[in-house]
Structure 1
């Protein structure tokens, strides 16, 4: 299957599918489409919008995804909803307001995105079960240099836990991470889900970032679930279930070469290596992006994963381009643990429906802003349950959670090559993995509504 061609800006026929609006609702989508031929002079840049799939065409909204309902989704509709969410999450953020898009900015303009302004897992689940900071407070980490502390507090600086020049052994890295005591380093996990490290062609490790939106933060803080002791008491009488509208994201970053940084093909951020000799920030680029949008008590939610198109070729492809994680002339076995650099291929092609929507989204993005780096990102697929669930009973729910009978999940394989490089086998998926998420208690089997975050809670000392 061919990937969408992100090298061309072909807008032919796109105008007939685009409607303009800021925060369009589903109810107004049809009317907006009917009026698309009328002249318009918006005061702010138009939000990229497109109808696609499902029983209800979904237009892009600058807010979390619309109400989840299994009966209203088809595979194209679910893909469209998560492309909408991707655009919302990666829209430039309004300064000083976490999670609020700046509607005066172009999609792809430099700066902190909506999700980068979210609080990270490490900023909410603190040592000794301490109470986390208020949502909009910018708490400065006193252990960081003054010149980067404020940027980190605002989300415009990502913390890297190792230098990019030399790659220590996995054992040394793990020992270093275990010895860490700083609670506010969001990129302190550079191992993948199966405990292995991915290296790019410059022999630098990939770093990972986990964050949550305000809906999820409010649920955690209002119920004191950041405290392992309180969490265990809560779970005895009430199942831990993220409310509908909660969003978790996991991002993968690579340290960019000067050529990559100036290419315009990556969303850029600043990364800081604590304790580095030069004390300077490095330029990092987003290469992978997971989204989990919770569906609440009656729904397993939507699970989607995106990638930067220069990451790696599809298995069997004969492309000769320069990839971030693949050298076409290398004899190194593909997707092999312990290799540096790692020779990566994408084992499973993008879903047919997702590929069509990727191409449509790319056209719309470039029409809104021809230089937007987001035109170089694509979706692998979206996973969702076709059946209505009841996560509220029995109490407590135990792992693994189920999304229904076999065949009720839209796809049982969903893998991102830079987030689960070494796990690219049939049957592995986001929901399949997160079904085993539990509370922080040792050897716990109590489920936490598909979210691994709760396992990070600590007890007071």
Structure 2
């Protein structure tokens, strides 16, 4: 009982109740979205200070968010829904139970969060298409030091092997599209810039690279393992008969981590975790801070789902604004061109401001977080925007479904520009977005044009040898 209610007349009701509902009720929430659930009735009492919902704000409650289609889901409602999801994902996890929040803990208390207890892409898509571990098992990597391996297995230590937010498979995507003549001058997604690797690494002001982390919840894991989609051969066979579509309730997250200085680590302004960088000399342990966070909550076969991106407020200034401090990825005194590949450190600016609606919800959410736990580092995080489609989709037919997927006409998308400066530093141009990029996600089969329900994960599958 540690965080406040959003009603002015009841100042000490806790947010832990909210998060419990999200933890155990997200599947029903997403299912309700897919089934066009009706909005919950608003409270008769004082309007909460953290409005959430569609045409009729319903406050932060343990009830399904109104449907996404037919214009009944508003931008503020989508922003609030994804802030709620962010809170659930970053709540301290219950020890020994993947994906379950510890409701006795404060929101912002040190330790492994709910999403950090999820299985990562590397733990599910194994070499030679091997079957992944059961969800609740803690399989230890024998190649790691024993003390590190046990913590990596349960999510207590992040394995820092990626300087790209997507798998190496995606780095080859542009060449494949060119070979298939699918990439034209009108394509708005510069896929060669997605990876932030091969010279496109993002470096902080201490000249350390940013590391990326990709994980999935149990709903997504269950779908992948039930259908043997971790195996490239089985995946190709499956996709000939049935389209790969993540079910409602699936959540996929991508995180960006910065190696923290001692001052940053003790500042209280970052969600802090332990990281391990493998190396020839046995590797090294580092203290890392979360600087960027993508969420994709699938909407199932009839919806493109909800997409949102968050950032730590000390990352970089807004383009054109007068810098008021030194930032993690910007030195106001530097003459280095901004957002330029191959520079170390990288001089970053946020090209597009936070959406107006998102900015208002940010203020409300941050206020609520502080009221619940004054020292919570989550008060220093904000949402850029949420992206969603106003159109009801049909991802089930035809079979197979080819890329790029379309959420409808351009006007049917809530926003066609959604970029995170530390996840897509070098592609901050108008028309680039989460949904637009992920519409090109395909199966692992060489030269494939078969869509995978907006998820690049499936491209990491390998075939048995």
What TM-score bracket applies, with the shorter chain setting the length? 0.7 to 0.9
Q: CA deviation at 1:284?
A: 0.1
Which residue of 1 is the match for residue 96 of structure 2?
A: 96
Is the Cα contact below 8 Å between 2:54 and 2:66 reproduced in 1? no
How does the TM-score come out when normalised to structure 1? 0.84
2:68–2:390 CA contact under 8 A, matched in 1: no
Structure 1 residue 281: deviation in Å? 1.7
Hey, what does 1:4 align to over in structure 2? none
1:269 & 1:29 partners in 2: Cα distance?
40
Distance 1:227 1:277 in 2: 32
1:248 has 2:241 as partner: no
Aligned residue for 2:461? 457
CA contact (8 A) 2:421 2:428 kept: yes
1:99/1:213 contact within 8 Å kept: yes
| Counterpart for residue 159 of structure 1 | 159
Query: In the alignment, which of 330, 349, 367 is matched to residue 363 of structure 1?
Result: 367
Label 1:58 to 1:378 Cα distance change in 2 as closer, same or farther (>3 A): farther
How big is each residue's C-alpha offset from its partner over 1:125-172, in whole Å with a ceiling of 9 and x where there is no partner? 00111000000000011111011111000101011239xxxx9xx9xx
- Please, which of 194, 202, 216 is the counterpart of residue 198 of structure 1? 202
Distance in 1 (alpha carbons) for counterparts of 2:40 and 2:302:
26
What's the secondary structure of 2:411's corresponding residue? coil
> Is this contact kept in 2: 1:194–1:423, CA < 8 A?
no
SS in 2 for 1:374: helix
Deviation for aligned residue 1:249: 0.2
Give the one of 296, 300, 305 matched to 1:296: 300
The 5 Å alignment of 1:333-412 reads 333-412=337-416
- Where in structure 1 are there 5+ consecutive unaligned residues? 1-10, 38-48, 179-190
Equivalent residue for 1:266? Answer: 270
For 2:230, the equivalent position in structure 1 comes to 226
SS of the residue corresponding to residue 363 of structure 1 reads: helix
Change (3 A) 1:59 1:92: farther
Equivalent residue, structure 2, for 1:309 = 313
1:118 lines up with 2:118 in the alignment: yes
The answer on whether the counterparts of 1:250 and 1:290 sit within 8 Å (CA) in structure 2 is yes
Residue of structure 2 equivalent to 1:34: 45
Report the counterpart of residue 70 of structure 1 in structure 2. Answer: 69
Change (3 A) 1:456 1:147: same
- Residues 1:211 and 2:204 are matched in the alignment: no
Tell me the secondary structure at the aligned position of residue 15 of structure 1: coil
Q: Per-residue displacement from partner, 1:302-337 (whole Å, max 9, x unpaired)? A: 110000000000001112302000000000000000
Aligned length: 414
How far, CA to CA, are the matches of 2:420 and 2:314 in structure 1? 13
Tell me the distance in 1 between the aligned counterparts of 2:9 and 2:396.
44
Give the 3 Å change call, closer, same or farther, for CA 66–140 of structure 1 in structure 2: farther
TM-score by length of 2: 0.84
Select between 19-28 and 413-422 the one with higher mean Cα deviation: 19-28
Deviation track 1:233-261 (CA, whole Å, cap 9, x = no partner) reads 10001000000110000000000000000
Structure 2, unmatched stretches of 5+, are: 30-38, 173-192
Distance 2:452 2:62 in 1: 28
Q: Distance in 2 between matches of 1:89 and 1:102?
A: 12
Greater shift in the superposed pair: 387-396 or 22-31: 22-31
1:444 maps onto 2:448 in alignment: yes
CA RMSD of aligned residues (A): 2.7
Q: CA deviation at 1:67?
A: 7.2
How many Å separate the matches in 2 of 1:146 and 1:58?
49
Q: Is the 8 A contact 1:297 1:390 kept in 2?
A: yes
Q: Give yes or no for contact 1:413–1:428 (8 Å, CA) kept in 2.
A: yes
Tell me, in whole angstroms, the C-alpha distance in 2 between the residues paired with 1:126 and 1:421. 29
2:425 equivalent to 1:421: yes
For 1:145 and 1:122, the matched residues in 2 are separated by 18
- CA change 1:56–1:93 in 2 (3 A) is farther
- How far did 1:193 drift? 2.6
